[in-house]
Amino acid sequence: MGEVFYITTPIYYVNDVPHIGTAYTTLAADVVARFMRQQGREVFFLTGVDEHGQKVAQAAAEKGESPQAWVDSIVSHFTDVWELLNISNDDFIRTTEPRHARVAGLFIDKLKEKGDVYLGSYEGWYCIHDEAFLLSSQLVEGACPECNRPVDWVKEENYFFKLSSYQDRLLAYIEEHPDFIQPESRRNEVVSFINTGLADQSISRTSFTWGIPCPFDERHVMYVWFDALLNYLSAIDYGADDARFERTWPADWHLMGKEILRFHAVIWPAMLMAADLPLPRHVFAHGWLTVEGKKMSKSLGNVVRPADLVEEFGVDAYRYYFMREFSFGVDGNFSRRTMLRRYNAELANDLGNLESRVLTMAGKYRDHVVPQPGVPGGEESTLIDKATSTGLSAAGKLEQLAFNDALAEIWELVHAVNRYVDFSAPWALAKDEARSADLDRVLYNSLEALRQIALMIFPYMPATAEKMWDHLGQQDIESVALPAALEWGLLSPGTETSRGEALFPRKMEAAEDN
Binding mask 448-477 for ligand ME8 (x = CB under 6 A): ------------------------------
Query: Would you say 273 or 490 has its CB closer to ligand ME8?
Result: 273
Residue ranges in 472-501 that form contacts with ligand ME8 under rule CB under 6 A: none
What backbone phi and psi angles, to 5 degrees, belong to 134? Answer: -130, 145
Q: How many C-beta neighbours within 10 Å does residue 446 have?
A: 23
Least distance between ligand ME8 and beta carbon 281 (Å) = 17
Query: Would you say 11 or 421 has its CB closer to ligand ME8?
Result: 11
Q: Residue with the closest Cβ to ligand ME8?
A: 21
**104 near ligand ME8 (CB under 6 A):** no
Query: Would you say 21 or 373 has its CB closer to ligand ME8?
Result: 21
Give the length of the chain.
514
Report the alpha-carbon distance of residue 363 to residue 171 in Å, rounded: 63
Among 17-25, 340-348, 362-370, 405-413, the segment contacting ligand ME8 (CB under 6 A): 17-25
Report the alpha-carbon distance of residue 252 to residue 254 in Å, rounded: 7
**11 near ligand ME8 (CB under 6 A):** yes
Query: Would you say 180 or 469 has its CB closer to ligand ME8?
Result: 180
**10 near ligand ME8 (CB under 6 A):** yes
Give the bridge partners for 255, in sequence order: 284
Query: Would you say 101 or 465 has its CB closer to ligand ME8?
Result: 101
Binding mask 270-289 for ligand ME8 (x = CB under 6 A): ------------------xx
Report CA 248 to chain centroid distance, whole Å.
19
Which of 356, 379, 348, 286 is closest to 501 using CA atoms?
A: 356
Report the residue from 4, 7, 22, 223 that binds ligand ME8 according to the rule CB under 6 A. 22
Report the residue from 296, 362, 395, 465 that binds ligand ME8 according to the rule CB under 6 A. 296
Query: Would you say 260 or 457 has its CB closer to ligand ME8?
Result: 260
In one-letter notation, the amino acid at residue 200 is D
- In order, the DSSP letters of 66-130 are -HHHHHHHHTHHHHHHHHHTT---SEEEETTSHHHHHHHHHHHHHHHHHT-EEEEEEEEEEETTT
Residue ranges in 180-239 that form contacts with ligand ME8 under rule CB under 6 A: 228-229, 231
Query: Would you say 94 or 397 has its CB closer to ligand ME8?
Result: 94
Query: Would you say 131 or 355 has its CB closer to ligand ME8?
Result: 131
- The helices-and-strands tally (H runs, E runs) of the chain is 21, 15
Least distance between ligand ME8 and beta carbon 235 (Å) = 11
| Gyration radius of the chain's alpha carbons | 26
Residue ranges in 250-269 that form contacts with ligand ME8 under rule CB under 6 A: 256-257, 259-260
**50 near ligand ME8 (CB under 6 A):** yes
**Greatest alpha-carbon span in the chain:** 90
Among 20-28, 80-88, 173-181, 195-203, the segment contacting ligand ME8 (CB under 6 A): 20-28
Report the alpha-carbon distance of residue 366 to residue 359 in Å, rounded: 10
Query: Would you say 320 or 365 has its CB closer to ligand ME8?
Result: 320
Dihedral (CA of 105, 163, 252, 391) sign: positive
Total chain residues near ligand ME8 (CB under 6 A): 20
Report the alpha-carbon distance of residue 495 to residue 472 in Å, rounded: 8
CA of 30: how far to CAs of 34, 35, 462, in Å?
6, 8, 10
Query: Would you say 55 or 220 has its CB closer to ligand ME8?
Result: 55
Q: What angle do CA 487, 488, 490 make, to 5 degrees?
A: 80
Query: Would you say 37 or 100 has its CB closer to ligand ME8?
Result: 100
Least distance between ligand ME8 and beta carbon 217 (Å) = 23
Q: Where are the beta strands (DSSP E) in 353-491?
A: none
Q: Where are the beta strands (DSSP E) in 145-203?
A: 152-161, 181-182, 201-202
**12 near ligand ME8 (CB under 6 A):** yes
Least distance between ligand ME8 and beta carbon 264 (Å) = 7
Q: What angle do CA 334, 337, 343 make, to 5 degrees?
A: 95
- 258 in Cβ contact with 188 (< 8 Å): no
If phi > 0 it is left, if psi is from -120 to 50 it is alpha, else beta; for residue 432 that is beta
Least distance between ligand ME8 and beta carbon 81 (Å) = 13
Least distance between ligand ME8 and beta carbon 150 (Å) = 18
**What residues line the site for ligand ME8 (CB under 6 A)?**
10-13, 16, 21-22, 24-25, 50, 228-229, 231, 256-257, 259-260, 288-289, 296
